[in-house]
């Protein structure tokens, strides 16, 4: 689960959450938000802010086993409150309903792949290019690469 959480943090699937509009004037910290303002949450920035995450640009799944062990992607998680630094599925009533299926399923699939196969770059390459390309509403891989799956011998 730590690998899944770190992947979703580093490569936030939806960098800009669905826009919301407040019906009445509101305050958010030191900001006054007039009624009927459209608010867009930059989930990518929240997940990559160096003020909130140690080495945010590095892939460190161990962060979710150590200093961020209680960080959860769903309301009512270990802290019983949403951790607003980490919103891979959005938040509130309009959050992605797929979170219930995605988190456990991703953990099982990644775990089975890693346990059964050695994942290698294609012949002649040193590594797999996983550079992402920002879209307006989602991230996608800029260059599709081949990954070699070599079965692990028992």
Q: Where are the domains of the chain?
A: 2-116
Confidence of residue 76 (pLDDT cuts 50, 70, 90): very low
Over range 131-139, report the average pLDDT.
Answer: 64
Over range 5-21, report the average pLDDT.
Answer: 86
As a whole number of Å, the CA-based R_g of the chain is 18
- pLDDT at position 77: 45
Residue 113 counted as an annotated binding residue: no
5-14, 68-77, 125-134, range with greatest mean pLDDT: 5-14
- pLDDT at position 24: 95
- pLDDT at position 68: 74
- pLDDT at position 75: 47
**Cβ burial, residue 94 (10 Å; 0-12/13-18/19+):** exposed
* Whether 122 contacts 92, CB under 8 Å: no
Over range 92-112, report the average pLDDT.
Answer: 86
Average pLDDT score, the chain: 83
What sign does the dihedral 119-105-65-85 (CA atoms) show?
positive
- pLDDT at position 59: 92
């Amino acid at each position: 689960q730590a690998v899944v959480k770190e992947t979703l943090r580093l490569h936030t699937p939806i960098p800009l959450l669905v826009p919301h509009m407040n019906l009445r004037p509101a305050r958010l910290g030191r900001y006054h938000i007039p009624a009927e303002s459209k608010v867009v949450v930059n989930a990518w920035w929240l997940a990559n802010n160096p003020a909130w995450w140690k080495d945010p640009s590095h892939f460190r799944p161990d962060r979710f086993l150590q200093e961020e062990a209680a960080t959860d992607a769903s309301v009512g998680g270990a802290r019983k409150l949403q951790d607003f630094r980490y919103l891979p599925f959005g938040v509130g009533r309009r959050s992605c309903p797929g979170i219930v299926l995605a988190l456990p399923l991703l953990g099982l699939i990644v775990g089975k792949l890693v346990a059964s196969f050695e994942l290698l770059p294609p012949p002649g390459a040193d590594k797999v290019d996983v550079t992402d390309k920002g879209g307006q509403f989602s991230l996608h891989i800029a260059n599709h690469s081949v990954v070699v799956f070599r079965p692990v011998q028992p």
